[in-house]
Amino acid sequence: MKKQLYVWLAIALLLVPCHTYAAQTKYQWNLADIYASENDFERDYQAVDDALSKLSSYEGKLTRAANVAKLFALNERIARKLEKLSLYAHLKQDLNIEDETAARLKAKVETLASDYAAKTAFIEPELLSLSEHTLDKLQKSKPLKPYHYYFEELRERKKHTLSKREEQLLAKLSPIMSDPENIYNNAARGDYDPPSIRTPDGKMVSLTNENYTKALEHPDRSYRKRAFQTFFQSYEAIENTSAATLYASVKADELYAKARKYQSGLDAALSADDVPKQVFTNLISTVHDHLPVLHRYVELRKKALGVDRIHSYDMYVSLVDEAVVKKMKFPIETAQTLLLEGLKPLGDDYIKNVRRAFEQRWLDVYPRPKKYTGGYNTCSYDTHPFILLNYDQSLDGLLTIAHEIGHAMNSVYTNKTQPYHYSGQSIFTAEVASTANEWLMMDYFLKQAKTDEEKLYLLNQQIDQIRGTLYTQVMYSEFEQAIHDKVRQGGSLTPNELNELWLRLLKKYFGPAYASDPEAARGWLRIPHFYDAFYVYKYATSLAASFELVKQMKADKTGQATKRYLQFLSAGTSDDPIRLLQKAGVDMTSPKPLANLLSYFDFLVREMEQLLKKEGRL
């Protein structure tokens, strides 16, 4: 059985702390909620270590339902303890990277997890080697009734399972599959040195990703242009290597798909998530139909900034006075109050659990020296969620809390309802729970806006969220599809070919008001997700699904839409993600959810246009 030992749901937005806050215990994790002492940790560690040898006694005996049921029960007992051990060690280290005890415990757990993986490696290959008749008998047997959907998935995978010898060969070759990404990472992070540039106030800064993002938001256009040109010109040094590694990665994906009897790498990736191909094709075609709306937004930005053409370095600078942004600050106590108000449409029980998250120290809120700098939510089946933040009191920071609370509540409802083997969430559905909270909070803020400038700021935030998560990720997906098709048909991927394809897509997506600078052609080089084939489309589908569900909850006065949504949060992996969403009230095999979201984007752009006209800026 494939059960991840821990899940790190890292968000794309990494927060940069603006201030150092005094430690406040009530806003720090209490890891004693996992283990009260190291002795308790060692007790579970020893229990897992002692139980591992019992797993192999079932090897070769999985034709009988009673044996399979006993193995699954033993595997669950071990995995649940191992999950807690892993969670504790990782969280402890993330609070202080120099914590020697945490490093020691983490190393011990990783060794134990490796032993566990080796001991359980026989389970799925043995089950997959069984005849359809035997699998059918196992699936229908009384002891294995709780695993009905697991066997349904297993039998589907069997269609793409090879002979024992071929599977062994693929297993031996599998480490090579990650080599292109490893080489790319070594080039992009190890060999690559970010260039330096002088800021308008005379300081020399290194154009790390963080500083480059800040430069693109700077009001000085000449500085933005210099930063953009310097940044992308510097990538010429690793352009050939990156093209070669991407080609190798795509070629490996397509060869692997062909070996497993899939028509393409896209089909293989979609099959892994139980997602029909029409979900992907609908996504591309529906966004194509709504590209004129994005073109109008770019035109609107061009007029508001008073420039002849919009360049890449003009897409992120704020259209709102900086003073308005500075006013949008939310101390954590205020953020808590606003979240409890904004998430009310999800019902009393949901709000009760959000309150618990703050009162019972599920959140580690403030940045501290040696603490992990990102943001995530994680938990084990037998613990409450743990949310790591580096809160800076900004609106983005508040929305990050809402996002991670969405993930946390998904785990709360799932773990309360589902057995262990159906806990967790697929990536396709996980982001629905988090982005639904962002939609609710932004809707709340827009209704509470006191001035036109505040509303303009919020509209800009919402527009950029949709542009970045839907339009941009779909452009990435179209790029992926094109390079996979090219390689599958025997073509190559040279730097020039990749650059030309990227520029064509930029022109297509951003329209006539956009100037596609030659330097922007290297944009593909900065997307590590391309080494995880057909991953990014899920951001777009999740955003559309959550928008549709929130829209239904706001319109339904009977509470049935909210009830269905909470059942969705409780479903875990008990069914395929498309069916789970359909039960909740949204059909992602239809273009309608995407069209509804893109119509909302159109509405936001028109609202922004009216406000800018009112202010005399158009």
| Same domain membership, residue 434 and residue 358 | yes
d(CA 162, CA 174): 14
Confidence band for 17, pLDDT divided at 50, 70 and 90:
very low
Q: What percent of the chain has pLDDT over 90?
A: 84
pLDDT digits over 385-396, tens only?
999 999 999 999
d(CA 409, CA 341): 16
Pick from 142, 177, 212: which residue ends a domain? Answer: 177
| Same domain membership, residue 516 and residue 561 | yes
Instruction: Answer with the residue of higher pLDDT: 178 or 558.
Output: 558
Q: Is residue 318 part of a domain?
A: yes
Instruction: Answer with the residue of higher pLDDT: 23 or 75.
Output: 75
Tallying the residues shown for the chain, one arrives at 618
Pick from 448, 480, 507: which residue ends a domain? Answer: 448
pLDDT number for residue 320: 87
Closest CA to 467 of 303, 306, 315, 278: 315
Residue 131 has pLDDT above 90, yes or no: yes
| Same domain membership, residue 379 and residue 280 | no
Instruction: Answer with the residue of higher pLDDT: 215 or 189.
Output: 215
| Residue tagged active-site, from 126, 299, 404, 480 | 404
In angstroms, the first-to-last Cα distance of the chain is: 59
| Same domain membership, residue 310 and residue 263 | yes
Confidence band for 20, pLDDT divided at 50, 70 and 90:
very low
Q: Is residue 524 part of a domain?
A: yes
Residue 5 has pLDDT above 80, yes or no: no
pLDDT digits over 450-506, tens only?
899 999 999 999 999 999 999 999 999 999 999 999 999 999 999 999 999 999 999
Q: What is the mean pLDDT of residues 497-518?
A: 96
| Same domain membership, residue 574 and residue 472 | yes
Residues 6+ away with beta carbon under 8 Å from 187 = 238, 241, 242, 245
pLDDT digits over 137-175, tens only?
999 999 999 999 999 999 988 889 888 788 878 877 877
Q: Is residue 208 part of a domain?
A: no
Q: What is the mean pLDDT of residues 370-384?
A: 93
| Same domain membership, residue 160 and residue 40 | yes
For residues 439 and 547, the answer to whether their CB atoms sit within 8 Å is yes
Residue 195 has pLDDT above 80, yes or no: yes
CATH label of the domain that carries residue 101: 1.20.140.70
Q: Is residue 511 part of a domain?
A: yes
pLDDT digits over 433-445, tens only?
999 999 999 999 9
pLDDT number for residue 591: 96
| Same domain membership, residue 393 and residue 290 | no
pLDDT number for residue 24: 66
pTM score above 0.85: yes
Helix (H) or strand (E) holding 41: helix 38-55
Q: What is the mean pLDDT of residues 2-26?
A: 39
Mean of pLDDT over the chain: 92
Q: Is residue 571 part of a domain?
A: yes
| Same domain membership, residue 281 and residue 345 | no
pLDDT digits over 227-243, tens only?
999 999 999 999 999 99
pLDDT number for residue 548: 97
Alpha-helical runs (H) found in 199-347: 209-216, 221-234, 239-259, 265-272, 277-289, 291-305, 322-327, 332-342
Look-up of token digits 């120290």: 361
d(CA 485, CA 254): 9
CA 133 to mean position of chain CA atoms: 38
Q: Is residue 553 part of a domain?
A: yes
Question: Does 438 qualify as catalytic in the annotation?
Answer: no
| Same domain membership, residue 606 and residue 550 | yes
pLDDT number for residue 143: 97
Q: What percent of the chain has pLDDT over 70?
A: 96
- Other CB atoms within a 10 A radius of the CB of residue 124 amount to 14
Please give the biggest Cα pair distance in the chain: 78
Q: Is residue 416 part of a domain?
A: yes
CATH label of the domain that carries residue 318: 1.10.1370.20
In the chain, the amino acid numbered 532 is: D
pLDDT number for residue 21: 41
Q: Which of 11-25, 157-171, 212-226, 368-382 has the lowest mean pLDDT?
A: 11-25
Instruction: Answer with the residue of higher pLDDT: 455 or 6.
Output: 455
pLDDT number for residue 4: 34
pLDDT number for residue 170: 80
| Structural domain that includes position 367 | 327-448
| Same domain membership, residue 496 and residue 428 | no
Q: What is the mean pLDDT of residues 400-410?
A: 97
d(CA 413, CA 458): 31
| Same domain membership, residue 608 and residue 477 | yes
pLDDT digits over 72-122, tens only?
999 999 999 999 999 999 999 999 999 999 999 999 999 999 999 999 989
Copy the structure tokens of residue 454: 């505040």
| Same domain membership, residue 269 and residue 145 | no
Tell me how many domains the chain contains: 3
Q: What is the mean pLDDT of residues 511-527?
A: 95
pLDDT number for residue 328: 86
pLDDT digits over 316-334, tens only?
998 988 778 778 899 999 9
Q: What is the DSSP letter of 610?
A: H
CATH label of the domain that carries residue 403: 3.40.390
Pick from 177, 207, 235: which residue ends a domain? Answer: 177
